[in-house]
């Protein structure tokens, strides 16, 4: 991958936002690939399409790009809150690319968050605009990627280091099973993945994960068998190769080269 944005293509443009979008979209078209199947190049949708920016002709995965100059923050400003909530709950919601670049127009981070990790919990509602604003009482949103589990943040480039394409593809495909789960089932799996992430050590046991019982009980007050549910989700994560069972009630996190 060429990590430099091509500034020459922005000649004649004066708007910083237009220039940034032009440069980053051009970079994706000329350097990126589909993290699902590895196919390149990606193709661009027609301008102003409301759902996504790019798609893969081979596997039909769709992607929307969010980019910024500077470091990668946990919260990324997006559009209207209601529109975003509808999008992530629709059948054709896209995967999201997040790209950051330096002042000298060099790519620093480029990651994809697969669409199965987009839940209402990661969309933060902003305060309504004032009554005096042109769009009075309009409510925007931010995407809080700190609420995305680690397995859902797949770097193609991290700290200006290009990640091997095979590693990216393996990480992307590892969690595709979530797309076939019901909203409730997916919610439980993601919650347990979040609990596993919060355990600081790489190897953990059932007692470590049971420490989250009260927290889960608050979210699922009608479930009187939280520990049983925890063990059930751990078995799913083990079967899908996201964690490893090492015996005697002990588990190990499986790390990828880009996570």
Q: Structure pTM?
A: 0.89
Q: Which pLDDT belongs to residue 143?
A: 92
Average pLDDT value over all residues in the chain: 91
Q: Which pLDDT belongs to residue 179?
A: 95
Q: Which pLDDT belongs to residue 210?
A: 97
**CB atoms inside a 10 Å sphere around CB 171:** 22
pLDDT digits (tens, 9 = 90+) for 67-76: 999 988 888 8
pLDDT digits (tens, 9 = 90+) for 74-99: 888 888 999 889 888 887 889 999 99
Report H helices in 35-98: 81-88
Just give the CATH number of 183-253.
1.10.10.10
pLDDT digits (tens, 9 = 90+) for 127-168: 998 888 888 889 999 899 999 999 999 999 999 999 999 999
Of the chain, the percentage scoring pLDDT greater than 90 comes to 73
Q: Which of 163, 96, 103, 100 is nearest to 123 (CA)?
A: 96
Question: Domain locations in the chain?
Answer: 7-175, 183-253
The third-level CATH classification (topology) of the domain covering 7-175 is: PvuII Endonuclease; Chain A (3.40.210)
**CB atoms inside a 10 Å sphere around CB 209:** 22
Greater pLDDT, 129 or 196: 196
Greater pLDDT, 120 or 256: 120
Three-state DSSP class for residue 25: helix
Q: Which pLDDT belongs to residue 258?
A: 37
Average pLDDT of the residues in 235-249: 94
Q: Which pLDDT belongs to residue 108?
A: 97
Q: Dihedral sign, CA of 20, 23, 25, 27?
A: negative
Does the pLDDT at position 247 exceed 60?
yes
Q: Which pLDDT belongs to residue 88?
A: 84
Concatenated DSSP letters of 131-191: TTSTTTT--EEEEEGGGS-GGG-EEEEETTEEPPHHHHHHHHHHTGGGGGS-HHHHHHHHH
Does the pLDDT at position 259 exceed 50?
no
Reported as a pLDDT band with limits 50, 70 and 90, residue 256 is low
């Amino acid at each position: 991958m060429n990590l430099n944005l091509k500034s020459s293509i922005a000649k004649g443009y004066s708007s910083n936002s237009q220039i940034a979008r032009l440069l980053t979209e051009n970079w994706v078209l000329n350097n990126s690939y589909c993290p699902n199947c590895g196919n390149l190049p990606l193709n661009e949708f027609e301008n102003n399409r409301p759902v996504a920016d790019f798609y893969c002709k081979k596997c039909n995965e769709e992607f929307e790009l969010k980019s910024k100059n500077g470091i990668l923050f946990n919260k990324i400003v997006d559009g209207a809150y209601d529109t975003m909530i509808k999008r992530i709950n629709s059948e054709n919601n896209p995967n999201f690319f997040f790209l950051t670049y330096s002042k000298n127009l060099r790519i620093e981070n480029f990651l994809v968050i697969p669409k199965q990790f987009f839940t209402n919990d990661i969309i933060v509602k902003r305060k309504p605009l004032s009554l005096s604003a042109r769009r009075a009482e309009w409510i925007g949103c931010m995407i809080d990627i700190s609420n995305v589990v680690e397995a859902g943040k797949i770097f193609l480039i991290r700290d200006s280091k290009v990640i091997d394409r095979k590693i990216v593809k393996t990480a992307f495909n590892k969690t595709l099973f979530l797309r076939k789960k019901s909203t409730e089932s997916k919610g439980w799996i993601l919650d347990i993945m979040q609990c596993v992430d919060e355990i600081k050590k790489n190897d953990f046991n059932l007692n470590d994960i049971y420490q989250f019982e009260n927290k889960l009980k608050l979210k699922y007050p009608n479930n009187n068998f939280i520990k049983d549910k925890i063990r059930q989700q751990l078995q799913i994560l083990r079967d899908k190769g996201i964690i490893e069972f090492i015996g005697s009630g002990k588990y190990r996190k499986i790390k990828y080269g880009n996570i």
